[in-house]
Amino acid sequence: MTLDLAATARRVLASEGNAGAPVADCAVLAFERVTVHLSRLVGVAGIKTLFHRSVVLSSRTFPWLVNAAGGSGGDDPIGALGARLADQDPDAVADAFILVLSTFVGLLGRLIGDALVLQLLHEVWPSVVPGDAKETP
């Protein structure tokens, strides 16, 4: 993927929420936006599974992302993640957000291809992710 995932995730976080909103709220908003959009293509269950895996993988760097039982939220992984993000300081939240989103996008890219993922991310965040793929006539 030619996109710098970490830099893109940082810009996504900055683009979400109102000025002065808690970083954790912006992170949850961004996760909800991308998962709702991709669920239309991949299905709710498929996206939940991918998101769960992204959180679990990211918890190797940020162990507090999963609860003591090692779970990442079951049926509502974003809600559960939001609750854990709310307990952290803004810098830690931003770092965790960047890692989880990069992991999620990377996983999806390995499954359905980077070109397709970029198209879909452009639909979600047109001002952040370039949509420069040209359609074949």
Partner 1 sequence: MTKRVQINKLATGVPGLDDVLGGGLPEFSFNVIAGSPGCGKTSIAHQMMFAMATAERPALYISILGEPPVKMLRYQQQYSFFDPAKVAKSVKFLHLGDELIEHGLDVVLAGIVQEVEATSPKLVFVDSFRSVVRKSTAPGQMELQLFVQRLALHLTSWEATTFLIGEYEEREGYSNEVFTVADGLIWLSQATQRNSVVRKLQVVKLRGQGSIPGIHTMKMSDAGLRVYPRLPNPDSPSTPAAKRGERRKTGVTGLDAMLGGGIPTGYSVMIVGPSGSGKTTLTNQFILEGITEGEHGVIAIFEKRPDEYMTTSPGGAQLEKLVAEGKLKMLYLRPLDLSVDETMEELAAAVKEVGATRVVIDSLMGFELALAPSFR
One-letter amino acid of 115: A
DSSP-derived 3-state class of residue 34: helix
Q: Is 130 in the site for partner 1 (CB under 8 A)?
A: no
> How far apart, in whole angstroms, are the C-alpha atoms of residue 42 and residue 61?
27
Verify binding: residue 135, partner 1, rule CB under 8 A: yes
Stretch that binds partner 1, among 12-20, 37-45, 77-85, 95-103 (CB under 8 A): 37-45
- Identify which of residues 24 and 117 has a Cβ nearer to partner 1 in the complex: 117
Binds partner 1 by CB under 8 A, chosen from 42, 65, 66, 129: 42
Please report how many Cα atoms fall inside a 13 Å half-sphere around the Cα of residue 56, on the Cβ side: 13
Do 55 and 73 form a contact (C-beta atoms < 8 A)?
A: yes
Q: Which two tokens stand for residue 60?
A: 């190797």
Among 14, 15, 119, 130, binds partner 1 (CB under 8 A): 119
- Residues forming contacts to partner 1 in the complex (CB under 8 A) are 39-46, 50, 108, 111-113, 115-116, 119-120, 122-123, 133-137
